[in-house]
């Protein structure tokens, strides 16, 4: 974080603001764009509006040059993101999503770092039908992207205790409370026309121009910080006393997007503002969101997240503004303690006597691999599973609420499809995350999801040689600095700079409460391995009992290394 906060830029509104204003509550000319059969694309402004409806236009970057050589337009298609607060779906919904992925998308499902599902490769001609059918499953895509509150994340193991169940209910209520109200969504995707033509809609919380930028909320239940709660615009940390949820510490101003070479942009962890009772959180969330609506920078999208709004004016200003809007004051923050931020794998019995199994899904990609029919395995499980499916915030999957009677059957299916409960893979791999990146992400500068597994294989060898094969080290990679796999909270973080080149970050802690720092810039695989090898060996020799890798690199001053070389 820079010492002096960056100043808002010129006051001319960003183009996106004009698009929102003219859109008639997110309608724009989306329907006309769909009717245009000459191109598989939509106009730029409609593409921007479509984000609020949970879909983005992309093109397959692997074949972009070839298409251009052939003088063809890029291979346009759409990514669809499905919103499910806290990431919980029924077995029926799982089966329906699986069927839709095969019918309209590329036959794969991608679990995201925010407990959502993504489809890739949906053609414009099929987009309406796909989102329509998603709605028929009683899930939706509204506000999965766009300048609104996104999917509300929540510790995904609600039945581990009564508290988790309660917290999950709050995530659903928050999600509903902060959802956009526009009728455009049902008109476009469900073909529903209002009785009177909708010249104006009610958008009581957002107003016609919504927020200056995306807004994200996550709820953590200590000792697990699996949602990386401080990385979000608003974070809620459950405070439990005597087994009862008594309230939440509230944080604000987390966010990770930055641009290489632009020091006015940076990742930031939220500030803890105080404590509130459970029944107060809808009010608190609404007032934080509307403060950002009114004060966020609408002229510069690189400076528009809540973190900059707060930094420009100060945390005290923000607290006062919030208090003024609430008409009451948050109580002082309560003590809490996080122990880890990755997922805990394997079987766990819930307080309701049901069983939960957390499975390792490498980078959240669900498909049938040549020697690993993961998607078929999960489909078969869904057909005989009497519980639910829950997505974790680390791209993994929980088979939740399995009855005692059904557990042997599920266990047998897990075995026969060789699904991993995290034990078949190294400790490094089960603590890894990579963002989607190439070939679908239009912002990618380097490979991520397709590359990290092979880099991990090389690092596994190195760790085994050093006697660290079972050490839990959090490693994350993104294909650009936007931070979609939250790399700034990894003990070893890679951020793409160019094809084959990464910035290497070291020094985050194991609980997701301290960010790492830049250690080496713009290095390729050879240099990555050559850089990490001596550090890993050093760690084996000089670590203190129980000391995590990230803490070790900080104790040895390695997180300052790049700065001291310059």
From the list 484, 532, 554, 558, which residue makes contact with ligand SRM (rule: CB under 6 A)? 484
**Is 128 or 450 the residue whose CB approaches ligand SF4 more closely?**
450
From the list 33, 392, 440, 516, which residue makes contact with ligand SRM (rule: CB under 6 A)? 440
Catalytic residue flag (residue 276): no
Partner from ligand SRM, ligand SF4, none contacting 256, C-beta within 5 to 8 A by type: ligand SRM
Q: What angle do CA 23, 26, 29 make, to 5 degrees?
A: 60
**Is 144 or 480 the residue whose CB approaches ligand SF4 more closely?**
480
User: Of these residues, 27, 390, 441, 497, which one is catalytic?
Assistant: 441
| DSSP, residue by residue, 174-198 | HHHHTS---THHHHHHH-PPPSS--
**Is 184 or 438 the residue whose CB approaches ligand SF4 more closely?**
438
435 binds ligand SRM (CB under 6 A): yes
113: closest CA among 552, 517, 432, 439?
432
Beta strand ranges found along 353-473 (DSSP E): 355-359, 365-366, 368-369, 372-373, 388-391, 397-402, 432-434
Element (H, E) at 319: helix 315-326
Partner from ligand SF4, ligand SRM, none contacting 478, C-beta within 5 to 8 A by type: ligand SF4
C-beta neighbour count of 26 within 10 angstroms:
28
Tokens describing residue 493: 């973080």
Distance CA 263, CA 261 (A): 6
Site string for ligand SF4, 436-475 (x = CB under 6 A): xx---x-xx---x---------------------------
59: DSSP letter: E
291 binds ligand SF4 (CB under 6 A): no
From the list 175, 300, 482, 553, which residue makes contact with ligand SF4 (rule: CB under 6 A)? 482
220 binds ligand SF4 (CB under 6 A): no
Catalytic residue flag (residue 301): no
> How does strand 365-366 pair with strand 109-111?
antiparallel
- The arrangement of strands across the sheet holding 517-523 comes to 432-434, 475-478, 492-498, 501-506, 517-523
155 binds ligand SRM (CB under 6 A): no
Distance CA 319, CA 321 (A): 5
118 binds ligand SRM (CB under 6 A): yes
**Is 303 or 407 the residue whose CB approaches ligand SF4 more closely?**
303
Residue 212, classed as helix, strand or coil, is coil
State the sign of the Cα–Cα–Cα–Cα dihedral 446, 450, 452, 457. negative
Partner from ligand SRM, ligand SF4, none contacting 479, C-beta within 5 to 8 A by type: ligand SF4
| Smallest separation (angstroms) from ligand SF4 to the CB of 35 | 30
Distance CA 47, CA 82 (A): 17
484 binds ligand SF4 (CB under 6 A): yes
487 binds ligand SRM (CB under 6 A): no
| Smallest separation (angstroms) from ligand SF4 to the CB of 338 | 24
15 binds ligand SRM (CB under 6 A): no
Catalytic residue flag (residue 435): yes
Under 8 Å between Cβ of 428 and 474: no
**Is 212 or 267 the residue whose CB approaches ligand SF4 more closely?**
267
User: Of these residues, 20, 27, 81, 213, which one is catalytic?
Assistant: 81
Near ligand SF4 by CB under 6 A, which window of 99-107, 158-166, 274-282, 482-490?
482-490
Residue 523, classed as helix, strand or coil, is strand
Tell me the residue nearest to ligand SRM as measured from the CB.
257
Under 8 Å between Cβ of 115 and 433: no
Under 8 Å between Cβ of 343 and 156: no
Catalytic residue flag (residue 154): no
Partner from ligand SRM, ligand SF4, none contacting 305, C-beta within 5 to 8 A by type: ligand SRM
Q: How many CA atoms lie within 13 A of 240 on its CB side?
A: 18
Alpha-carbon dihedral angle through residues 307, 313, 319, 323, given to the nearest 10 degrees: -120
Partner from ligand SF4, ligand SRM, none contacting 81, C-beta within 5 to 8 A by type: ligand SRM
Q: Token pair 């400076």 is at which residue?
A: 303
| DSSP, residue by residue, 341-378 | SSPPPEEEE-TTS-EEEEE--GGGEESEETTEEHHHHH
Catalytic residue flag (residue 484): yes
> How does strand 271-276 pair with strand 244-252?
antiparallel
Partner from ligand SRM, ligand SF4, none contacting 480, C-beta within 5 to 8 A by type: ligand SF4
480 binds ligand SF4 (CB under 6 A): yes
**Is 361 or 441 the residue whose CB approaches ligand SRM more closely?**
441
Interacting residues of 464 by C-beta distance below 8 A, sequence separation 6+: none
- The arrangement of strands across the sheet holding 244-252 comes to 153-154, 217-220, 234-241, 244-252, 271-276
From the list 20, 365, 430, 486, which residue makes contact with ligand SRM (rule: CB under 6 A)? 486
Catalytic residue flag (residue 150): yes
Number of H helices, E strands in the chain: 18, 22
From the list 435, 490, 492, 523, which residue makes contact with ligand SF4 (rule: CB under 6 A)? 435
Partner from ligand SRM, ligand SF4, none contacting 291, C-beta within 5 to 8 A by type: none
Q: Which positions lie near ligand SRM, rule CB under 6 A?
A: 56, 58, 79, 81, 112-114, 116, 118, 150-151, 214, 216, 231, 255-257, 305, 364, 395, 435-436, 440-443, 482-486
Catalytic residues: 81, 150, 214, 216, 435, 441, 480, 484
Q: Which positions lie near ligand SF4, rule CB under 6 A?
A: 435-437, 441, 443-444, 448, 478-480, 482-484
């Amino acid at each position: 974080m820079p010492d002096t906060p960056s100043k808002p830029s010129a006051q001319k509104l960003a183009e996106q603001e004009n698009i929102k204003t003219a859109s008639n509550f997110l309608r724009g000319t989306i329907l006309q764009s769909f009717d245009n059969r000459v191109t598989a694309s939509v106009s730029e402004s409609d593409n921007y509006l479509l984000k609020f409806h949970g879909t983005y236009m992309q093109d397959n970057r692997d074949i972009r040059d070839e298409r251009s050589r052939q003088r063809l337009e890029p291979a346009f298609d759409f990514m669809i993101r499905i919103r499910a607060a806290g990431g919980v779906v029924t077995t029926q919904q799982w089966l329906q999503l699986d069927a839709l992925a095969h019918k309209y998308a590329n036959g794969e499902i991608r679990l995201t770092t925010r407990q959502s599902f993504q489809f890739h490769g949906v053609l414009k001609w099929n987009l309406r039908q796909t989102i329509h059918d998603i709605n028929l499953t009683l899930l939706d895509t509204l506000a999965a992207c766009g300048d609104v509150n996104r999917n509300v994340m929540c510790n995904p193991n609600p039945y581990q205790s009564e508290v988790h169940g309660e917290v999950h209910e709050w995530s659903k209520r928050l999600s509903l409370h902060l959802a956009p109200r526009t009728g455009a969504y049902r008109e476009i995707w469900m073909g529903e026309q209002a009785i009177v033509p909708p010249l104006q809609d009610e958008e009581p919380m957002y107003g016609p121009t919504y927020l200056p930028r995306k807004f994200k909320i996550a709820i953590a239940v200590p000792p697990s910080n699996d949602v990386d709660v401080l990385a979000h615009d608003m974070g809620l940390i459950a405070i439990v006393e005597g087994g009862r949820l008594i309230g939440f510490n509230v944080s604000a101003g987390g966010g990770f997007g930055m641009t290489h070479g632009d020091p006015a942009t940076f990742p930031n962890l939220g500030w803890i503002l105080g404590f509130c009772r459970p029944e107060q959180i809808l009010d608190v969330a609404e007032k934080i969101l509307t403060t950002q609506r009114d004060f966020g920078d609408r002229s510069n999208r690189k400076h528009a997240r809540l973190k900059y709004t707060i930094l420009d004016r100060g945390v005290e200003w923000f607290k006062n503004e919030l208090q003024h809007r609430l008409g009451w004051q948050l109580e002082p923050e309560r003590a809490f303690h996080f122990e880890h931020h990755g997922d805990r794998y394997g079987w766990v019995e819930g307080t309701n006597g049901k069983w939960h199994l957390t499975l390792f899904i490498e980078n959240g990609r669900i498909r049938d691999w040549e020697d690993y029919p993961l998607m078929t395995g999960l489909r078969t499980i869904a057909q005989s599973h009497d519980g639910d499916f829950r997505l974790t915030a680390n791209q993994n999957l929980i088979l939740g609420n399995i009855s005692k009677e059904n557990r042997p059957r599920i266990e047998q299916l897990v075995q026969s499809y060789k699904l991993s409960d995290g034990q078949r893979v190294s400790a490094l791999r089960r603590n890894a995350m990579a963002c989607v990146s190439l070939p679908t992400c239009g912002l990618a500068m380097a490979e991520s999801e397709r590359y990290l597994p092979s880099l991990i294989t090389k690092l596994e060898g190195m760790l085994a040689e050093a006697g660290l094969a079972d050490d839990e080290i959090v490693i994350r990679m993104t294909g650009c600095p936007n931070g979609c796999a939250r790399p700034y909270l990894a003990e070893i973080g890679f951020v793409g700079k160019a094809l084959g080149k990464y910035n290497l970050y070291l020094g985050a802690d194991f609980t997701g409460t301290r960010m790492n720092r830049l250690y080496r810039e713009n290095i390729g695989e050879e240099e990555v391995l050559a850089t990490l090898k001596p550090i890993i060996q050093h760690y084996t020799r000089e670590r203190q009992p129980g000391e995590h890798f990230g803490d070790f690199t900080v104790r040895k001053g390695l997180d300052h290394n790049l700065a001291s070389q310059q």
